[in-house]
Structure formats: C-alpha cells, structure tokens
Structure 1
C-alpha cells in the first residue's frame, strides 16, 4: 500500500496523464484508419493510371475502390479490358499494402511515444505532488519542532492565496493563541507563587522574630492578631484561585437565576463596608438569566467590592440591571488610562503596585468576574470613566439580553 500522500498523488496524476495520452493516441489511430484507405487508393490510382486512348487526359483523383475509365476507351459495351482489370487489382493490392504498413508504423511510433510519455508523466506527477505538498511538509516540521521553549516560531508561508496558504495562516493564528495562553498560564503561576510567598514570609518572620525569647502578653497578642490577618488574607487568596479555576471550567448545568435579587442581596451584604459619604445609586429591573447562582453572586460581589475599594471620598457607586440583560457597575475614583483597562482584567494585575497593606486585594477580582462571565456565555466590557469623576465602568451582557455589539468607546475585556 502507498504510505505517503506524495506517492498517492503521483499515482493519481500519472494515471490521469497516461489515460489522457492513451486516449489521444487511440483516437488518432481510429480516425486515421477510417479514412486512410480511401486517401491512399485515390493517390495510387492517379499515379498509376495509363490512358487506353492516346491523348486522353487522366481522370481526376477520386476516392473509391473502382478504377475510373473514360467511356470512349471502353468501347460501345463499356466493358473493362483485361489490362484495366489487372491494373485495378494491382492498385488495390498496393493500396492495402501501403495502408497496413502505414498503420503498423503509426502503431509502433504511438507505443514508443506513449512509453516515453509515461516516464515523463510519472516524473512530472512526482514533481508536482512534491511542490503541492511542500507547505504541508513545512507545517508538519514546524509542529514537530514546537515546544514550550519555542512557541514564538511561525510558519510564515510565502505562497499565493489558496487553501494551503489559509491553512498555514490558520496554524500561525493558533500558535499565537497558544503562546498567549501559555504566557498567561506562566504569569498566573508566577504571580500566584509570589502572592502566596509573601504572607508565608510574613508569618514566618512574625513567628521567628516576634515570638523569639519570652515576649510579653501584649506583644504576643499583636503577633497573634497579625498572624490571623495574614492567614485570612491567604485563605481569601486561595479561595479566589479556586473560584477562578472553577469558573474557567465552564458550567455543566444552568438554572434560572434572579439576577436582580442577587444584586440586591450582595448590595445588602456589602453595605457594612460602604463609607458613609459614598452615594450608592441603584436601578434594578427584573431580570432572570440562566446560570449558576453561586458564581453569579461572586461576580456581583467582586464588582461591588472593587467599586468600593477603589472609590474616593464623597464618591459615587451606580448599579443598574436592565431588562435587556445588561448588568452595569460604575464607580468614581482615580483617573485610569484607557490603555490600562484591558490589563486590569488579567489575574494579579493592579492599577498601582501592591503595598501589602490591610484590605488590599490580590488583583484577582476583575479576572474572576471576566472568567465567570465567560462561563455564562456573557460578554464583559470595561471602560475608564473620564475626569473629573474618574473610576471604572464594567458592563456584562448576558445571553438573555438583546445581542449586539457594545456601545462605541468601550473595550471588550473578555
């Protein structure tokens, strides 16, 4: 059996070329055989005819097996003479011999030409198959050579537009996405290790230094409080990482969830942490979406916590739910560069460097929101609010809403 596509294409191309060549030769032989005898007979008759009457011009060359003779040369009975019959028989024999010799020579020459054509067609088919499959070989070698260390390599096929060019470009696009995913995974692992290492170092230092010797009860109480605070922060970080991993897996089942009720409950829960001078504006229309109630609660909770944590004194927090399936959370705060907005939706990314102070987040809130939105088939967009208010506006379009593109000026973040 043929084990390579090049061999299969060679057999296919070569067979087609041989069939075409053989058919052409057969057609030529058939057409020539049907009219060859008449042409030879006419030529031989014209050449070998000797008039019976002196001065009588020879008859014109006409096809046929009968010898044309002038009527006056045959006499009144129009009966061929023995000489004429003999001449006609000789002409017939000569015509048949020439025909057979010509057809035999034509057949021999045709078979030799077909043999040469077969060799050339097989070589041409092999060359054509190799040329056609060359991009496939490049793609195969690139795929075999790729690993985590050289995902930056691309095929970059230089070829005219066509199916193989589109295949190579599609493969390059897939490598771009793979490189982005692998890079994001590496950054996530590195950031997670860094975030977990910091509280562990603080706990170790507090235990080794703060509790060294025989510390007084007041110092022990302070160290105990610090260790509990660091443990709570670590627990929150681990829970956030687990939630992010769960949301990235998608949803196996969905059930109707009252999104407005979820927002009301989360607003009530976050109310204790809202400063007195922060104005909270809500506009919640009835809306039921398909999804997981627990994950949607985390989505709303993270949006509200982010809006409260990064707000300013005397600021404003707006929460709206529309019947078109749109959840919007907007807050005032520091002015954000629009170019930094997509980066804020990545894990462990913050607007400013972390200071490791109490109440500071791990930089996972918005990334968890984006992941939960993707798990529900929703589209998340984020936009920096202009000065002087500043802050951030986040909108989530759920499938239950009216599909369509986000308004102009907003950047999709998921």
Structure 2
C-alpha cells in the first residue's frame, strides 16, 4: 500500500510522541515505585517504634507468648494492607497514565496531520501548477509567500524554470513563423520561374523535361516543409481552442481529394455525422488531409476509403490496399517512416503524414490508434475530446 508523504510524516510525528510518552511513563513508574515503602519492612519498623499498637492491660491470664502472637498477627495484617495499597497505587498510576498517553498521542497525530499539511502546501502548489502547464498556459506561476526556507527556495526555482521555458517557447514560435515565411518564399519564386520556362514556346524538349523534374522536386520540397512546420506547430501545443465542426472539415477535405481519388481509381465513401471538437481548425484540417491522402495513395485500383465522424470516436478512416502486419504499424507513426521503407519513395510522400496526425491528436488531448483493416490497408481511429456545438 502506498502512503502519502503527509501520512508518513503524521505517523512519524505520532510514533515519536508515543515513544517519548512511553519512556516518560516508565521513568515515572520507576520513581513512584522506589518512593513507595516496602510493606514488610515498613510494618516491622512501625511495630518496633510503636509497641503500644499491640499492648494489652497486664493481667496474669495473658502469657508472654500471647503478646508475641498478637504482634505477629498485627505485622501480617499491616503487611497485607500495605501490599494491597502499593499495588493499587501503581495500577492506578499505570491506568491513568496510559489513558492520558493514548489521548495525548491521538491529539499529537491530529496536530501532526495539520502541521504536515501546512508544511507540504507549497509542494502541492508546485504539483498543481505542473499538472496545469501547457504550451497555452506557461504564464502560470506558484508565487509562494512565506519564510525564506527550503520550500520557498524550491517554489522560486520552479518559477524561474517556468520563466525560461516560456522564453524558449516564445523563441520557438517566432522561429516557426519566420521559417514558414523564409522557406516558402524562395520555393514559390522557384516554382514561378519553372512554370514560366515551361510556358515558353521556344523551350526545347530537354528544357521542358528538366523544368518538369524541377517542378516536381519543388512541390515535394513544399510538402516536406509544410509537414515539418505542421509537426513543429502541433508539438509545441495549442495557443487557443475554438469549437470546430469535424464533419464539415472532413467534407472539405474529401471534396479537395476527389480528383486524386478519381486519378488513382479509389472511391471515397463519406459517413459524416455532426461532431464538434475543441481545437485548432487548421491543424485538424491538416490531420484529416494527411489521413485521407495516405489512405488514397496506399490503396489499389478499385479500392475505397471510408471516412466516418460523429461515432463513438471522433474520426475513423478505413481503406483497402496492401495488407499491413500489426507489428509494423507503430513504426509508421515515426517521422520519415513508411510501409516497406524508411525514406521517401516515388509516390510523392515524404513520410510525415502519420507523424503529423499523431502530433496533432496529442496536441488536442486525444490519441490515435491503428490496426490492420478488414480488407487490407489500415483502420485508423482518432479519439478527440468533444465540445458542445
């Protein structure tokens, strides 16, 4: 059984008090016992010092041995009386001291519980603050007020660490925003130049072939950058949450993926029921787009992709395609890992789709589960906390 620190401190306080009380009771008992007179010696002394106790009127009918017998009987009666008194006094001392010790131990336990709770309050404040921390709530601080002791030092150290974390997260946010602009701008310029070269009627076939390859390479680089930026954005948490209709987002994604499904001869089967979650609409759309595009790409002609929202789980995407062993599924959620290879391949993917899906789900307080589909492919379930519409 696991005991809390407060309980352990209370037990230690109460145990030490009880031990000290037992030692005090033993010392008190020995002192009182040493001060009470010995029954036999006390009786003999009293009879010797007070012979009148057994004295009788002088009569010729009482022999001298009768007086001695009377003295012995008096001594025995006095010894018995003193022995009973001594035992009664010691028993009363033990009983009353034991009751007082038990009551005092109970009071010590209660005061120990209160004192331990007061002493550990800063630790509870630190724990509560740490549990509530997130990328969107790094402004929380403990601000412990109290004497300059070890707990005050611990709370101040924790607040200083939060200041450094908040500064690091701010720097990361600025870096992601700047990187998004600085990386996309040259790629957009490059794509424009290549498209201009392709539109030139005087371009030779070799130049057109080279321009087409450069255009595909640029598109691939753009997808890679978009995936990395989405992964970085979701990994740092959500700056805010708003109600998002997941079924409407899924409808837009399916409409935008229709041409790709027609090109690869994969049917899209929407089963969209109203579902509202709290989160970031852009990241949730990226999650859905990655799942749907992966399900279409890793499929086979004549296959299908089913997208369900609003059920027991917020989102379920099932597709046909090559069979995937259950042991290989965890590796698919790692960056740059894909079924059958660890790097990118010729279908245009960059190996970040499911990594982004998992990161976005975790940023929203949800989780992703994947299992082999009943008709090949995968069945991916995304659980997200729902929100009132």
TM interval, shorter chain, is: 0.5 to 0.7
Higher helix proportion: 2
Report the 3-state secondary structure (helix = DSSP H, G, I; strand = E; otherwise coil) of the residue aligned with 2:369: strand
Write out aligned runs for 1:4-403 (5 A). 20-33=22-35, 35-36=36-37, 39-45=40-46, 54-56=64-66, 57=69, 58-60=71-73, 61-62=75-76, 218-275=205-262, 277-322=265-310, 324-353=312-341, 356-386=344-374, 389-400=375-386
What is the aligned-residue RMSD (CA, Å)?
3.5
**TM-score, normalization by structure 1:** 0.51
> Once the two structures are superposed, what CA deviation does each residue of 1:179-219 show, in whole Å capped at 9, x if it has no partner?
xxxxxxxxxxxxxxxxxxxxxxxxxxxxxxxxxxxxx9544
Alpha-carbon distance, 1:63 to partner: 7.0
Distance 1:54 1:355 in 2: 126
Q: Extract unaligned runs of 5+ from structure 2.
A: 1-11, 56-62, 80-202
Once the two structures are overlaid, the 10-residue window that deviates more, 44-53 or 230-239, is 44-53
Q: Extract unaligned runs of 5+ from structure 1.
A: 1-9, 66-215, 403-414
Q: Structure 1 residues 361 and 225 mapped into 2: Cα distance closer, same or farther (>3 Å)?
A: same
User: 2:275 touches 2:314 (CA, 8 Å); kept in 1?
Assistant: no
Q: Structure 1 residues 316 and 42 mapped into 2: Cα distance closer, same or farther (>3 Å)?
A: same
Distance 2:303 2:348 in 1: 19
Counterpart of 2:150 in structure 1 is: none
Distance 2:239 2:48 in 1: 97
Alpha-carbon distance, 1:38 to partner: 5.1
Report the 3-state secondary structure (helix = DSSP H, G, I; strand = E; otherwise coil) of the residue aligned with 1:280: strand
Alpha-carbon distance, 1:41 to partner: 1.3
> Once the two structures are superposed, what CA deviation does each residue of 1:66-95 show, in whole Å capped at 9, x if it has no partner?
xxxxxxxxxxxxxxxxxxxxxxxxxxxxxx
Alpha-carbon distance, 1:294 to partner: 0.5
Distance 2:345 2:337 in 1: 16
> Once the two structures are superposed, what CA deviation does each residue of 1:106-157 show, in whole Å capped at 9, x if it has no partner?
xxxxxxxxxxxxxxxxxxxxxxxxxxxxxxxxxxxxxxxxxxxxxxxxxxxx
Distance 1:43 1:349 in 2: 104
Alpha-carbon distance, 1:380 to partner: 1.8
Q: How many residues align?
A: 241
Distance 2:304 2:31 in 1: 95
**TM-score, normalization by structure 2:** 0.54
Alpha-carbon distance, 1:381 to partner: 1.4
Alpha-carbon distance, 1:316 to partner: 1.2
Alpha-carbon distance, 1:370 to partner: 1.2
Choose 1 or 2 for highest CA Rg.
Answer: 1
Alpha-carbon distance, 1:351 to partner: 1.1
Report the 3-state secondary structure (helix = DSSP H, G, I; strand = E; otherwise coil) of the residue aligned with 2:370: strand
Alpha-carbon distance, 1:221 to partner: 4.0
Alpha-carbon distance, 1:359 to partner: 3.0
Report the 3-state secondary structure (helix = DSSP H, G, I; strand = E; otherwise coil) of the residue aligned with 1:346: coil
Q: Structure 1 residues 398 and 25 mapped into 2: Cα distance closer, same or farther (>3 Å)?
A: same
Alpha-carbon distance, 1:269 to partner: 0.7
Q: Structure 1 residues 279 and 11 mapped into 2: Cα distance closer, same or farther (>3 Å)?
A: closer
Distance 2:244 2:13 in 1: 62
